[in-house]
Amino acid sequence: MIRHPGVIARLAVPFALVACGGGDKKPVKKPVAVKKPVEPVKPAETEEDRAAKRTAAAHALIPEGASCLPATLKENTAPRLELAAIGADAVVCALDQDETRLLGAVACWKIDLASGALTYIPSSPLPGRGISVLVDDRCARGYCLPKDAKAPSSKIARMAWNGDGSKVAVLVGDDLHIYDAASKAHESSFSIRGDKGVTNDPTAVHWVDSMIFVEGADAGPYAAVWAFKADGTPAGGIEAIGAKDGKPLSTFGGSFSLLDKTRVAISEQGMSSMTIYDATNGQRSKLVRKLTKPPCKNDEVDAYWKDENDKVGAKCKDALQKSFAHLQGATAVAGSKNFLVMLRGPRLGELAVMDAKTLAEKKVIKLPWCAGNEAAAGGGGGAPDGAASESATADKAAPAKTRAPVKKKGGGDEDPDAGGE
């Protein structure tokens, strides 16, 4: 018998609601997966991209259009000033030597040899003179190693263009590769080691006439130069005339110069002497500079040239510095009667005109250093005070010139430093 059905119904409803968990519970939302944005794939850096970066970095060091030398070039790791003859012009370029970037020619200027004034010109490799560059993806400035070539152990390559710019030599590790300059096609390669080959660490490569020259240096005070024909045939180290020990001449404390289109030179010990090597036939000649005997003992002089300065007395060291400091590392280009020499050390920024037979300094041409923020403004310019008058007084007849030819009105070439040697 059912009793009070309405009461039972009223009691059943709340129980039903409780059993269902209540009527105010909110539905649970399912988490929505968030898609990560797809990053665009960056295109591979091209040689053009790298060239643009190098140009920007070069202009940050020396502003485009600057007509004076920034004082920063006097710092130890600063780009190195090198001299060359291009056409009828004497040209100086600042070549980067900082191995973290190796920008090549940071800036170049044409030199007015009468006044020392500088005119900014587009940077480019100096004829024959090598530069050091960074290797990117097995390539050096777009000249790429063949697939079967050994992977470079160093990120640094040494490069040089031949005289007419048609060929390029690239030294990577122990192998020197030859390329067609225009197409960048690889043509040949050879090792710089072996019989008559380089015996220490290569530091530079240069190309003069049909010969390729490799500079090498030891950890100690010794550096030398080895010659190779462009086909890879070794000619050996450049030795002193009459040498019997077979050891190449040392450029430590001296230098290696590209005199002209066919000749190179090794100067020893602050240009005390210079051995000239003809790339066309291997013939050598020697020049000796007349020097005043310094107030030194023989042991002190030997120690000075071994970079053992703690064994050199103050008076001796001062005398040797005055005679040699500006010529240690100095490089030259040749005219018919004179050498034009880029001086170093305390006389950086000066060009000496030296007699091509005696190595005696005949006059000096001073290049302008920037004052204040002139370089940052891309300005400066003109010769420093007194430079023009000093140069003119030293040689009223004619300023020193390089060996580069100028055209005669009637045709043909004429050496601007004519007169014969």
* Average pLDDT, integer, range 63-76: 96
End-to-end CA distance of the chain: 146
pLDDT of residue 107: 98
- Split at pLDDT 50, 70, 90, the class of 17 is very low
Please report, as a single letter, which amino acid is at residue 69: L
- Split at pLDDT 50, 70, 90, the class of 132 is very high
pLDDT of residue 79: 97
The label of the residue with tokens 């609601």 reads 17
The per-residue pLDDT for range 167-187, each reduced to its tens digit, is 999 999 999 999 999 999 999
Q: Report the alpha-carbon distance of residue 7 to residue 390 in Å, rounded.
A: 128
Q: Report the alpha-carbon distance of residue 91 to residue 100 in Å, rounded.
A: 26
* Average pLDDT, integer, range 384-390: 36
pLDDT of residue 26: 66
For all residues of the chain together, what is the average pLDDT?
86
- Split at pLDDT 50, 70, 90, the class of 392 is very low
Question: Is residue 152 over pLDDT 60?
Answer: yes
- Split at pLDDT 50, 70, 90, the class of 409 is very low
The per-residue pLDDT for range 235-248, each reduced to its tens digit, is 999 999 999 998 99
DSSP 8-state assignment for residue 153: S
Q: Report the alpha-carbon distance of residue 55 to residue 324 in Å, rounded.
A: 36
The per-residue pLDDT for range 4-14, each reduced to its tens digit, is 445 444 444 44
Question: Is residue 15 over pLDDT 80?
Answer: no
Query: Is residue 415 packed enough to be buried (19+ CB in 10 Å), middle (13-18) or exposed (0-12)?
Result: middle
* Average pLDDT, integer, range 284-311: 96
- Split at pLDDT 50, 70, 90, the class of 43 is confident
- Split at pLDDT 50, 70, 90, the class of 290 is very high
pLDDT of residue 404: 36
Question: Is residue 369 over pLDDT 60?
Answer: yes
* Average pLDDT, integer, range 46-64: 96
CB 224 within 8 A of CB 181: no
404 or 319, greater pLDDT: 319
Query: Is residue 175 packed enough to be buried (19+ CB in 10 Å), middle (13-18) or exposed (0-12)?
Result: middle
* Average pLDDT, integer, range 113-131: 96
- Split at pLDDT 50, 70, 90, the class of 153 is confident
pLDDT of residue 373: 67
The per-residue pLDDT for range 318-338, each reduced to its tens digit, is 999 999 999 999 999 998 889
Which two tokens mark 407?
Answer: 């055209």
- Split at pLDDT 50, 70, 90, the class of 375 is low
Q: Report the alpha-carbon distance of residue 171 to residue 154 in Å, rounded.
A: 11
| Residue % of the chain over a pLDDT of 90 | 72
* Average pLDDT, integer, range 375-386: 47
Q: Report the alpha-carbon distance of residue 251 to residue 222 in Å, rounded.
A: 7
**Sign of the dihedral defined by the CA atoms of residues 57, 62, 66, 67, in that order:** negative
CB 401 within 8 A of CB 407: no
User: What one-character-per-residue DSSP string does 182-219 give?
Assistant: TT--EEEEEES-STTS--SEEEEEEEETTEEEEEEE-S
CB 226 within 8 A of CB 236: yes
pLDDT of residue 100: 95
Q: How many CB atoms lie within 10 A of CB 189?
A: 17
pLDDT of residue 226: 98
- Split at pLDDT 50, 70, 90, the class of 38 is confident
pLDDT of residue 160: 98
